[in-house]
């Protein structure tokens, strides 16, 4: 796939050279509108998709050719007919009233260069074509051919409800071809360990979140008892870091915790522990919690990053080099001795960014912390010394989100420059650049097998990228506002997305289809997280609630036969109310982060807002 460079602005706009009589534009448009509104019900819903892209292109054409008064009257007469979810775009459009305005407007340029995709059945398309050719309505037919991509399918036309579920993004729907590539959504095989059974004598230590530095008795890393998941990528498809001894110990701890995990379900909902940031006058803009739930980090609008310990164990730095040289390296508790007790505190503040911090992410081994900021950089901090190790510069504009790979070493960032970048901690330049979104990349997430990255954008689409070659392998449309949260199910098969439209959409990654819509939130969904075994999906929103949904029921007996995949006729059951297991209000705290502990306790976080 060749990614075309941004074409020269003047070349792009010159496609708008005058062909029709400006005074007739309203007539052309109302003629088509009349035709569509009088067509049979089965075609009307499909053909109505033309209204918006034609409206925009005809308006831009008038503006470009400096027919300002005609453009104004065209806009005023027809903008009220457009679907409500295009309101924000129309607001941008209404401010473009002169040819000069178009030159600097990236959104419009994108609208111009990327063809708007409509998915229409063959019958509806033939009807439209016949109408436009009989009417000799070349102006509209030219726009259809020049600026729209009509993805024609054979079969029944789709209903209004089916279309509404899928449309709403800046560039229309995704072409069906875009979601055909094979995706290895299975999980990689976990190395095997024998968990030591001497729990009793370790109880005291376990509370601290660190086991005694004892090696497990037998370390059978290579044993191949688990079968390879047929949908998993080859183990070596992308190079992943080797497990260190400390990682193995952590895995053992994790397994012990998992043995005590609560099985969640409709009858057994998780307890929720809410961390409220009080008096956060610095403006809380990002939160993350370590996998073992021992530390929590906040990114703030005053450009600081603050790390707290959530356990009784305080945060300590490593001693200075001079003091370290005095330590006996062979002693059993060397890892304890290198820590400087004098530095112990519950909170560490990290200074370095020069703008609000919009994203934070702990590394899986808890040695590092990433933060990304309005200042265009991503910083890597050491949690041993609480100092900044590297500043990664690549985005020239604000960076909205960053996240470590579940295996560490790699991380992803996304920003205002409309691209996501894949980095490795030891390279100062990105390894991959994922380009294709038409507006800011607002959130980024790694797939649990680390071979794919999902990005959500202000262009109202979600894309899935292949880390190996940088290709875009899925485009999901259906949200009506910028996307602010993403979560993969633990089995790697599904993706949940949340946006400013308050809806949570569920996607089947293998088939590239929307399989559910959870309605209930009344404001932006900022946080999504599946429980450890994937039985429950938790969503947190600006509407000050945490909601729990029955994920098992949402994904069971999906109709993913070939017909659905081929035509995109999705039938979403209106069952949000059956799937909603609980709604929990905070007093006045928008929910910005959710995290399930290894035992399935749900942790939530946000800053109290006094208005």
Confidence of residue 565 (pLDDT cuts 50, 70, 90): low
Question: Looking at domain 19-173, which CATH architecture does it have?
Answer: Alpha Horseshoe (1.25)
Written in H, E and C, the secondary structure of 207-271 is CCCCCCCCCCCCCCCCCCCCCCCCCCCCCCCCCCCCCCHHHHHHHHHHHHHHHCCCCCECCECCC
Q: What is the pLDDT of residue 135?
A: 73
The stretch 333-337 carries a mean pLDDT of: 77
Counting beta carbons within 10 angstroms of the beta carbon of residue 219, is it exposed (0 to 12), middle (13 to 18) or buried (19 or more)?
Answer: middle
| Band (157; pLDDT cuts 50, 70, 90) | confident
User: Which segment of 15-29, 298-312, 383-397, 485-499 scores lowest on mean pLDDT?
Assistant: 15-29
> Best-predicted range by mean pLDDT among 85-99, 193-207, 214-228?
85-99
Tens of pLDDT, residues 299-314: 999 999 999 999 988 8
CA of 609: how far to CAs of 249, 359, 517, 542, 587, in Å? 41, 20, 29, 11, 9
* Cα(346)–Cα(295) distance, integer angstroms: 10
Confidence of residue 202 (pLDDT cuts 50, 70, 90): very low
The percentage of residues in the chain with a pLDDT greater than 70, rounded to a whole number, is 87
The per-residue pLDDT for range 421-461, each reduced to its tens digit, is 999 999 999 999 999 998 999 999 999 999 999 999 999 99
Lowest mean pLDDT among 199-208, 333-342, 468-477: 199-208
The pLDDT score that the predictor gives to residue 141 is 83
55 burial class (0-12, 13-18, 19+ CB within 10 angstroms)? buried
Q: Which two tokens stand for residue 385?
A: 């010394």
Give the pLDDT of residue 208: 44
pLDDT tens digits, one per residue of 246-258: 888 888 888 888 8
pTM for the whole structure: 0.86
Confidence grade of residue 1 (pLDDT, cut at 50, 70, 90): very low
Measured N-to-C along each axis, helices 138-147 and 51-64 cross at an angle, to the nearest 10 degrees, of: 100
Q: CA 158 to CA 599: how far, in whole Å?
A: 44
């Amino acid at each position: 796939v060749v990614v075309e460079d941004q074409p020269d602005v003047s070349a792009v706009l010159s496609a708008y050279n005058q062909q029709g009589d400006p005074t007739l534009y309203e007539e052309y448009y109302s003629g088509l509108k009349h035709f569509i509104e009088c067509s049979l019900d089965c075609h009307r819903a499909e053909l109505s998709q033309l209204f918006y892209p034609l409206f925009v292109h005809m308006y831009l054409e008038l503006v470009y050719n400096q027919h300002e008064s005609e453009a104004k009257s065209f806009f005023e007469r027809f903008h009220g007919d457009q679907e409500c979810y295009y309101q924000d775009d129309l607001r941008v459009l209404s401010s473009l009233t002169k040819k000069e305005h178009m030159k600097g407007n990236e959104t419009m340029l994108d609208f111009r260069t990327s063809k708007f995709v409509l998915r229409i059945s063959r019958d509806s398309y033939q009807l439209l074509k016949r109408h436009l050719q009989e009417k000799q309505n070349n102006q509209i037919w030219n726009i259809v051919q020049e600026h729209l991509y009509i993805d024609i399918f054979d079969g029944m036309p789709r209903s209004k409800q089916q279309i509404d579920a899928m449309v709403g993004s800046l560039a229309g729907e995704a072409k069906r071809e875009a979601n055909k590539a094979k995706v290895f959504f299975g999980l990689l095989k976990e190395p095997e360990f024998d968990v030591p059974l001497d729990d009793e004598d370790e109880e005291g230590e376990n509370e601290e979140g660190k086991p005694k530095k004892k090696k497990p008795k037998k370390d059978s890393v290579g044993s191949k008892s688990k079968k390879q998941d047929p949908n998993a990528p080859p183990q070596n498809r992308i190079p992943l870091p080797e497990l260190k001894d400390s990682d193995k110990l952590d895995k053992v701890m994790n397994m012990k915790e998992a043995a005590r995990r609560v099985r969640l379900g409709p009858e057994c909902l998780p307890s929720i522990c809410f961390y409220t940031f009080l008096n956060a006058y610095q403006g809380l803009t990002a939160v993350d919690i370590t996998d073992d739930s021992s530390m929590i980090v906040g990114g703030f609008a005053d450009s600081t990053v603050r790390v707290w310990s959530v356990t009784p164990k305080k945060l300590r730095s490593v001693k200075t080099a001079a003091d370290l040289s005095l330590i006996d390296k062979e002693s059993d508790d060397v890892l304890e001795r290198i820590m400087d007790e004098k530095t112990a505190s519950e909170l560490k503040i990290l200074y370095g960014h020069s703008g609000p911090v919009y994203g934070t992410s702990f590394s899986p081994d808890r040695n590092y912390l990433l933060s990304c900021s309005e200042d265009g950089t991503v910083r890597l901090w050491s949690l041993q010394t609480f100092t900044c190790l590297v500043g990664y510069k690549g985005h020239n504009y604000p960076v909205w989100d960053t996240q470590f790979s579940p295996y560490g070493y790699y991380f992803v960032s996304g920003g205002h420059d409309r691209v996501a970048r894949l980095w490795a901690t030891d390279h100062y330049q990105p390894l991959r650049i994922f380009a294709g979104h038409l507006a800011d990349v607002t959130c980024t997430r790694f797939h649990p097998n680390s071979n794919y990255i999902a990005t959500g954008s202000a262009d109202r689409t979600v894309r899935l990228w292949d880390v190996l070659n940088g290709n875009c392998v899925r485009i999901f449309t259906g949200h009506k506002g910028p996307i602010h949260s993403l979560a993969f199910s633990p089995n790697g098969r599904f993706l949940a997305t949340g946006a400013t439209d308050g809806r949570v959409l569920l996607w089947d990654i293998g088939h590239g289809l929307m399989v559910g819509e959870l309605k209930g939130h009344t404001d932006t969904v900022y946080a999504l997280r599946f429980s450890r075994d994937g039985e429950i999906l938790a969503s947190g929103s600006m509407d000050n609630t945490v909601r729990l949904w029955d994920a098992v029921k949402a994904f069971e007996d999906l109709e993913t036969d070939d017909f659905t995949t081929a035509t995109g006729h999705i039938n979403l059951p209106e069952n949000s109310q059956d799937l909603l297991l609980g709604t929990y209000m905070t007093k006045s705290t928008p929910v910005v982060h959710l995290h399930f502990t290894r035992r399935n306790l749900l942790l939530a976080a946000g800053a109290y807002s006094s208005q």
